[in-house]
Structure formats: structure tokens, C-alpha cells
Amino acid sequence: MMERITLGDKSFVPYIPYERISEAIDQVADRLNADYQDSEDTPVVLCILNGAILFCAELLKRLHFNLELSSVKLTSYCGTQSTGQVKTVGGLTTDLKGRRVIMVEDIVDTGQTIVAIRQLLEEAGVKESRICALLLKPEVFCQKAPLDYVAMEIPNRFIVGFGLDYNELGRNLKDIYVLDDTQ
């Protein structure tokens, strides 16, 4: 049973149970499988570290086409706020020139990280890139290019769990929790 948790100096309450997350991942995987089942080439699934690790792992188990896995590490948060600046902490681990890439992201709010990743991929010479996000905050998303695959849309609230963190805490929680605004 989900209950209130404390991470550092903040309290969080239950928000999205693992069962709902799993159902949403099933739906996204079905769409990806339909789009890539007859691929003549081998697409690269690019996991955006650290937050997308759990989502990417769950998604990979459900994909039924040949693929390669790679990763890149970016950061834009400090505490509960986005800094507005995206930093590449760990570069691309695979040569992506001429490849099709499916970027797997945990959460998209303003979309600044997506812009930075697309720029990085363009510089790497990718043939095609698509975005697959577990969560989207549509009320703060301010980019013109739409996302290709979104598992769930949520309001603009600070959440942790299932890969998402508060100062690196809470990534290991299987459910998603929201910041308790009553304190």
C-alpha cells in the first residue's frame, strides 16, 4: 500500500501507482512495436540518464523488434525546480551517424531537455529521431515540435519515484509520489 514518504526535507503523497504506470508503458510499447515491427534497419533506443532508467528498462522488456541500447546523461534540475539550463553530464555512448533513434525520457515539462538532445543528435548526424516520454506536463510544455510517444499526461506538479528524484532521492520507488502541498 502506498503511503506518505519523506525524502530529505520534503514530504510526498501517493500519486500514480505502479499498476497504472505499467498499463501506460504497455500502451506506448504497443505503438512502438506497430511502428517498428517491420524495420529493415536496427533503431537505437537512447535512454536519457538517470531518470529514464526504470522506464527504459520496463519499455525494453515489451519491445519486440531488433534494437540497440545507448545512453546519454543530462541534467536540468536543482531541488524541485528546473534551472532552465540543460547540461550534458555524460556524452553519447554510441556512434549514431545515419541511425534512427528513439529517445526515452522520464518526464517532459518545458521541453528544454528535448531541444538539447535533438541538437546533440543533429550534431551526431542521426537520420531520424523520435521522442518517447513516460510523462508530459502539457501546461508548461513550450516547444513547437510535438512528442511522438507519451505514456501519460500530468499537471505541473513536482513528483518522485519510478526513476524521478528529489536531490537524487526516491528514484528506486516503484510508484510515483507528488510533493505534499499541505505542509
Higher-pLDDT residue of 2, 167: 167
Grid coordinates belonging to 86: 540543460
Q: How confident is the model at residue 89 (pLDDT cuts 50, 70, 90)?
A: very low
CA separation for the pair 86, 40 (Å, rounded): 34
**How open is the CA angle 72-74-78, to the nearest 5 degrees?**
155
Please state the pTM of the whole predicted model.
Answer: 0.88
CA separation for the pair 103, 94 (Å, rounded): 13
Grid coordinates belonging to 145: 515540435
Catalytic residues: 109
pLDDT tens for each residue of 34-75:
999 999 999 999 999 889 999 999 999 999 999 999 998 876
Q: What is the mean pLDDT of residues 11-17?
A: 97
pLDDT for residue 88: 54
CA separation for the pair 121, 101 (Å, rounded): 9
CA atoms within 13 A on the CB side of 169: 13
Helices within the chain (DSSP H only): 18-36, 53-62, 112-124
Q: What is the mean pLDDT of residues 151-158?
A: 96
Q: 18-156, which class in CATH?
A: alpha beta
pLDDT for residue 75: 65
